[in-house]
Structure 1
Amino acid sequence: MVDELDVRILSLLQENARLSYREIARELDVAVGTVYNRIRRMEEEGILRGFAPVLDYEKLGFGLTAVIGIKAQGRKITEIEREIARNDRAVVVYDITGEFDILVVAKFRDRADMNRFVKWLLSLEGVEKTNTSVAMQVVKEDWRLKLTED
């Protein structure tokens, strides 16, 4: 269970994950030990799953983003999702409702890289069809969610 202080700590970390416990404590006017204990508890509870930089994938050579809908055999869906999640190109794997069963967002270096991935998807047992859309422009790509209302 998170309370207001936890949310405030998480909000600060989303803005800058490099903040020290001391800096967070100063900003929130609480003891350093309180910040340390709160962060440790949220890590143990799986609320805070890690600290990662926000990257510009295009500048790193991954300028192609694809959104791929996958239709799969019902009894194989979970197994297929797990297999896709292990692939380094897949950055998001969702189990969804609607026309498709699985939605994947993936990053690629070029069309050949994407082609190999899609062909690999189609080779997985239980995958019936895929539908690939290529992002023409990334307008917003930010997983940080505003946790408080100002």
Structure 2
Amino acid sequence: MDDLDRKLLACLRANARESAASLAKALKVSRGTVQNRIARMQAEGVIQGFTVRTRPDMDAHRIRAIMTIAIEGERSRAVIRALQGLPEVTAVHTTNGRWDLVAELDTGSLAEFSRTLDQIRTIDGIASTETSLLLASV
């Protein structure tokens, strides 16, 4: 990755639907250079996909939370795999300090949220958890 790749990624983070021609103009390179670099970064796994961001208030009915997780012994990989298998877990982050992992949760109702918490708590290797609901995004 060089400076041009990093600038291209920054542009794509701002607007992944920007045309190759517009990106090329902004970066002062050819359209072919932009297309080739995007294709290379996709092939290398640097770019894993493109997504849509919505306003936080568009999904006001969603129940979103952050869960911090302590793991027993050396079971991180198994716990992470189990968490990634749950559709309600939108991201898993490793951390340092008191907690080993932070999981982002997103469910459609309190009942679904409760079921998700029950599922996570039964994952072998999890010592303890603490969950905080996200009330608003500012």
* Category of TM-score, reference length = shorter chain: 0.7 to 0.9
CA RMSD of aligned residues (A): 1.9
For 1:75 and 1:58, locate their aligned partners in 2 and report how far apart those are by CA, in whole Å.
40
1:107, distance to aligned residue in structure 2 (A): 1.0
Which position in structure 2 is the counterpart of 1:101? 100
Tell me if the contact between 1:62 and 1:108 (Cα under 8 Å) persists in the aligned partners.
no
TM-score of the two chains, using structure 1 as the length reference: 0.81
1:60, distance to aligned residue in structure 2 (A): 3.9
1:87, distance to aligned residue in structure 2 (A): 1.1
For 2:29 and 2:103, locate their aligned partners in 1 and report how far apart those are by CA, in whole Å.
41
Query: Cα 1:94–1:110, aligned 2, differ >3 Å: closer, same or farther?
Result: same
1:89, distance to aligned residue in structure 2 (A): 0.9
Encode CA deviations 1:13-41: one digit per residue, 9 max, x unaligned.
11211112122122223211111111112
The alignment-based identity, stated in percent, is: 28
Shifted more, 51-60 versus 107-116: the winner is 51-60
1:92, distance to aligned residue in structure 2 (A): 1.6
Superposed, which structure 2 residues align to 1:120-131 within 5 Å?
Answer: 120-131=119-130
Q: Which consecutive residues of structure 2, in runs of 5 or more, have no partner in the other structure?
A: none
Which position in structure 1 is the counterpart of 2:23? 24
Q: Which consecutive residues of structure 1, in runs of 5 or more, have no partner in the other structure?
A: 140-150
SS of aligned partner of 2:39 = helix
Superposed, which structure 2 residues align to 1:76-87 within 5 Å?
Answer: 76-87=75-86
SS of aligned partner of 1:74 = coil
